[in-house]
Chain A
Amino acid sequence: MPRETSPKIISNGRRYMGNMAVASVLYTAAVFGGAFAIRNEDLPQWGVILAALAPLVPALLMLRAYMIFLSGLDEFQRRIQSEAMLYSAAIVGFGSFAYGFLEEWADFPHLPLIWVFPALIGVWGAAACVLRLRYK
């Protein structure tokens, strides 16, 4: 039976999608809620910090969903995932390093650190697709 169609793998994938969907809804709510509170309420500095950090809780729920997903994968798929993450860390690490020098010395516009997380996830997803194609 091909790996992709094994019922265990499919149910693992479905659970992952479900957990991610819930975490994403919470994340969106936390980002909008936090930004709204900071702009419209007169919060003290510690309140602003708490509101700014609130989206981390659902982001950690996403990490938890991913860890559960990872533990339900077979050895081959787990290897693809971790190799893809290594590529992503290398590409984003060097990319941000190069951009940092351009920012400092060549007057390129400042990019906020908030983009590192989506960049890591995006490159990781692309690398996982490429690796899967290569191993097929």
Chain B
Amino acid sequence: MSNYCESAGKPAAARLFRDMFGAGIVYLAAVLGAGLAIKGFAPPQWVAALLAVAPIAPALLMLAAQLRYMRALDEFQRRVQSEAVLIAAAVIAFGTLAYGQLEDMAGFPDLSMMWIFPALCVVWSIATLFVRLRYK
């Protein structure tokens, strides 16, 4: 069974890796390019806003790659993934609530919204490992 799962997941995982790698390079280029353009040329606010959201396009490519990967998975692996996302959403929801309270009431330093998404991805990966171990 596990051999079957692995053989079904392997080409999909290779494709995910390739797509993510491509999107990652575009993402880095967008972040560095937009950052340099904003700092170097001091464009008007609406151009700065457009440049600032430019890295979202490659991030959406990453989402598309992940969705394609999830569609290629079997029922069991898909369940592991969606359970892991739910755990990640719960952890981030309560973590941000706790930190938001500390920011608001206990004078903790302000954290940018930018960190939510990377935190969500990291907790999701860790949760995937745990969920997979539990089902083994």
Contact = CB atoms under 8 A, between A and B. Distances in A.
A116 B105 contact: no
A136 to B, nearest CB: 22
Contact of B96 (A86, A98, A114): A114
Interface in A73-132: 82, 85-86, 88-90, 92-94, 96-108, 110-117, 120-121
Contacts of A92: 116
A112 B117 contact: no
B12 interface: no
Interface stretch (B3-11, B15-23, B85-93, B128-136): B85-93
Task: Tell me whether chain B's interface is mostly helix, strand or loop, or mixed.
Answer: helix
A114 B113 CA distance: 10
Contacts of B113: 96-97, 99-100, 103, 111, 113, 116
A36 to B, nearest CB: 11
Contacts of B51: 105-106
Interface residues of A, number: 46
A22 interface: no
Contacts of B56: 94, 97-98, 101
Contacts of A52: 101-102, 104-106
A59 B90 CA distance: 11
Interface string A20-40: 000000000000001100100
B106 A48 contact: yes
Given A106-B45, A107-B45, A85 B102 contact: no
Nearest to B83: A82
A99 B115 CA distance: 11
B38 interface: yes
Given A112-B110, A116-B100, A117-B94, 6 more contacts: A34-B105, A51-B105, A98-B56, A106-B45, A114-B97, A116-B113
Interface of B: 34-35, 38, 45, 48-49, 51-53, 55-56, 59-60, 63, 82, 85-86, 88-90, 92-94, 96-107, 110-117, 120
